[in-house]
Amino acid sequence: MRLVIIGGGILGTAHALAAIRRGHDVVHLERETEARGATVRNFGLVWVSGRASHELDAALQSRDLWEEIGGRIAGVGFRPTGSITLLRTPDEVAVAEEMLARADAVDRGFELLDPTDVRVLNPALRGKYLAGLHCSRDAAVESRVALPAIRAYLAATGRYDFHAGTEARSVTSSTSGATVRDDLGNTYDADLVVFCPGANHTGLTRELAGELPVRRVRLQMMQTAPLGEPFPTAVADGDSFRYYPAFAGTALDALAGNQAQDFTAAEHKMQLLCVQRLHGGLTIGDTHEYAEPFAFDVDESPYEYLTGVVEELLGRKLPEVVRRWAGVYSQSLDPSELVHRKQVDDHTWVVTGVGGRGMTLSPFLGEQSADLFNL
């Protein structure tokens, strides 16, 4: 079959990878010269630990797919880092203990560590905390360079053509297939069109699919200069319990009742996530904003708060912050679905709304779509 995939982010690229793996031909269109949305404005984390129960199997399969992809495509930068959620209060420790008692704790690779054992896994964590919830199944990829590496791999098959700076303007279907027209007047015939618009919910997305049951979420993040020492695991703080569905339960309810979140963290719906990039710097975030219109600038107070938290956990000053950015992703309003797929006609699908799980779940979702589309 011949596929036209619209959207060059991680979700569209994962669909291209799944199609090429199954022997099909792919034309891939991206309106920017390089993907610039949520795909590159994230941590690069493959985050199994916080996934809800109905998402866990998908996350584990996707993590294994990432490891396979990383084994074949070195530029993806896959690392089985694992993660440690650092716990600073007894109520946070209680949430971790409740998680360890659950049936899926082994599948998630959970283990509760005292500070000495935390420092064995990550010697850079010389600061203040009571314990750490280790998840051996979490991992990381290099989000800013993974897509070019995957595209180079796909191009080497001879069955993949990537068109950068090419915006799809229309999709028309007939009994035999579909035709995509771009903003330069070029047309591309396809047996199947897969449109992965990311957080762009207007324009062609609205023309094809109408109003979708998705919302946009804005976040702020930052990146430091090289730390100067290895930071072997990803790190989260206890506030992450409040935002990841896996941790829901009586202990989390008690935490929410007993332990008020810091004012800045609560105002910006914050958690700490931190991972070291291959160049040695740390990517640190993040915030959650749901009410549009979103600000066009970034707010300094979350960065100041995150810097204080990380320095407390490290027991040292952070290197200079060299980059700050905001990003927007698309999130399904239905918490039971991993991604929102809408069939427009016999030859066209729209796929979006994976939320903050795009880097984690996209390889699985690409394979799942390929099964659904009978590829």
* Owner of token pair 């291209």: 16
CATH classification at residue 315: 3.30.9.10
Does 309 lie in the same domain as 170?
no
Residue 11, helix vs strand vs coil: helix
* Structural contact between residues 74 and 67, judged by C-beta atoms closer than 8 angstroms: no
- Residue 110 dihedral angles phi and psi, to the nearest 5°: -80, 145
Q: What is the DSSP letter of 85?
A: E
Does 318 lie in the same domain as 169?
no
CATH classification at residue 352: 3.50.50.60
SS (H, E, C) 286-334: CCCECCCCCCCCCCHHHHHHHHHHHHHHHCCCCCCEEEEEEEEEEEECC
Mind listing the pLDDT tens digit of every residue in the chain (375 residues)? 999 999 999 999 999 999 999 999 999 999 999 999 999 999 999 999 999 999 999 999 999 999 999 999 999 999 999 999 999 999 999 999 999 999 999 999 999 999 999 999 999 999 999 999 999 999 999 999 999 999 999 999 999 999 999 999 999 999 999 999 999 999 999 999 999 999 999 999 999 999 999 999 999 999 999 999 999 999 999 999 999 999 999 999 999 999 999 999 999 999 999 999 999 999 999 999 999 999 999 999 999 999 999 999 999 999 999 999 999 999 999 999 999 999 999 999 999 999 999 999 999 999 999 999 999
Q: How far apart are CA 375 and CA 367, in angstroms?
A: 9
Does 105 lie in the same domain as 235?
yes
Does 104 lie in the same domain as 227?
yes
* Structural contact between residues 289 and 217, judged by C-beta atoms closer than 8 angstroms: yes
Whole-model pTM: value is: 0.96
Q: How far apart are CA 52 and CA 66, in angstroms?
A: 20
Does 221 lie in the same domain as 362?
no
Does 267 lie in the same domain as 195?
no
Structural domain for 176, as ranges: 1-79+141-213+338-375
Does 322 lie in the same domain as 222?
yes
Q: How far apart are CA 330 and CA 42, in angstroms?
A: 13
pLDDT attached to residue 313: 98
Does 66 lie in the same domain as 89?
no
Does 284 lie in the same domain as 220?
yes
Does 226 lie in the same domain as 129?
yes
**Structural tokens at position 107:** 């599948």
pLDDT attached to residue 335: 92
User: Which of 209, 203, 201, 192 lies closest to 168, judged by CA?
Assistant: 203
Does 46 lie in the same domain as 33?
yes
Q: What is the pLDDT of residues 291-344, one digit of tens each?
A: 999 999 999 999 999 999 999 999 999 999 999 999 999 999 999 999 999 999
pLDDT attached to residue 350: 98
Q: DSSP secondary structure string, 196-258? A: --TT--STHHHHHH-S-SEEEEEEEEEEESP-SS---SEEEEGGGGGT-GGG-SHHHHHHHHH
Q: How far apart are CA 220 and CA 52, in angstroms?
A: 24
End-to-end CA distance of the chain: 8
Give how many domains the chain has, as a whole number: 2
